[in-house]
Structure 1
């Protein structure tokens, strides 16, 4: 009976949603974008990206450019900018059609890499969807970098355990970005046994930036820790650090 009531409730919610939003939800646009990252240099100050409509319906996209920074928590910080130039800014694709968008910047190459995001936003169809269906619009964010002449990414790790909390800082001491593919922590006790093992979320670390993690430690784990090892694998090499945990690390 309980399962039947849940089933009826699901059908009622489904009917309500269909009544509010129409009979169906249309598929999102099937669009292939290449490349998925753009690197501009002094020798190659402009590049092009291709958009191909692999779907069966005509679609439209609008481009917009933003400067891109990151918080220490890894969140993207975006601001509209005229520095990123792209043409055309509005693209309409018939089924099977491919169009190219040219991307460049008004800025000159500097000692530190400049980072941007080019967003490709699908626009609502001009014609109403059949049966009142809702179109799920897609959005792509393409990283665009203006690299320095002598680009070098330098991953660096820092660790600390204080007041029962493990702090991890993944830094970039270089002048260009890198992509962290994995960040792994292993904590050991005095006899060498593992008492902590954790993988941290990893992504871009921009030039001169850092990503910080805060991990509260359970008292029974913290009291056993004598060493924490961190290893970060990136597309520009790896960084490793062995950190001896002080005896006062678990004291509030």
Structure 2
């Protein structure tokens, strides 16, 4: 599928995406747009009637492609970024009479952002605290007006220590939301940490100190 990060704005009110079927059989796909929020750091989705995504259901032939178009029924906000997710869900055909087994249906999720009329950016605040024995809690809170997309995390304690293990998968932190990583490490309060990650704005680096309980 391309592009994988569609964005809408006053200058780009509609986005076109191409979906490809690399399999050997046709498949039926349902397209849904959902409002995306992160209360208490949990990804939450509700129907998005203000997003027009077409066609809502289509058949992809084997080796074929389908162009889908996404637009907003509402104009961009003046200052606030709006966050959504597009879900493409495979609708499997009815099983044959002699079928006996487990069937898997493909589901793909893509972020969709509607940019405001004024430029916005994320503003991350980081905090490290001891958790249960042998773990530290790394929390990022986004105080900005734009989302943060983070990946390729690296975390180390002290100046010459081995890197600590922190999940490296891509994480989105929406405006006003927080994300928590639990890191397996026996680190005392007051220990300096260095964290680096990749973001849409380039490499991010920050120094922080493990707070007391």
TM score, norm. by length of structure 2: 0.80
Unpaired runs of 5+ in structure 2?
A: none
> How much is the aligned-residue C-alpha RMSD, in angstroms?
2.9
> What does the per-residue CA deviation read over 1:115-149, in whole Å, with 9 as the maximum and x for residues that have no partner?
111111111225x4496265432111121111112
Structure 2 counterpart of 1:170, from 140, 162, 165: 140
Q: How far apart, in 1, do the equivalents of 2:210 and 2:69 lie? A: 52
Shift of 1:155: 4.3
Question: SS at the partner of 2:4?
Answer: coil
Task: Map residues 41-190 of structure 1 onto 2, 5 A cutoff.
Answer: 41-73=9-41, 75-110=42-77, 111-125=79-93, 128-129=95-96, 132=99, 135-161=103-129, 166-188=136-158
> What does the per-residue CA deviation read over 1:155-189, in whole Å, with 9 as the maximum and x for residues that have no partner?
4242244587644222333322231013332212x
Contact 1:155–1:170 (8 Å) recurs in 2: no
Q: How far apart, in 1, do the equivalents of 2:67 and 2:209 lie? A: 54
Corresponding pairs, count:
208
Contact 2:142–2:177 (8 Å) recurs in 1: yes
TM score, norm. by length of structure 1: 0.69
Structure 2 counterpart of 1:231, from 175, 196, 199: 196
> What does the per-residue CA deviation read over 1:23-73, in whole Å, with 9 as the maximum and x for residues that have no partner?
xxxxxxxxxx22222111111111121223332322211111210112454
Question: SS at the partner of 1:159?
Answer: strand
In our comparison, the structure showing a higher alpha carbon Rg is 1
Contact 1:157–1:168 (8 Å) recurs in 2: no
Q: How far apart, in 1, do the equivalents of 2:24 and 2:90 lie? A: 15
Shift of 1:106: 1.6
Q: How far apart, in 1, do the equivalents of 2:162 and 2:80 lie? A: 41
Q: Where is the helix percentage greater, Structure 1 or Structure 2?
A: 1
1:241 paired residue number: 206
Contact 2:81–2:120 (8 Å) recurs in 1: no
Structure 2 counterpart of 1:203, from 166, 171, 184: 171
Q: How far apart, in 2, do the equivalents of 1:81 and 1:180 lie? A: 25
Contact 2:166–2:182 (8 Å) recurs in 1: no
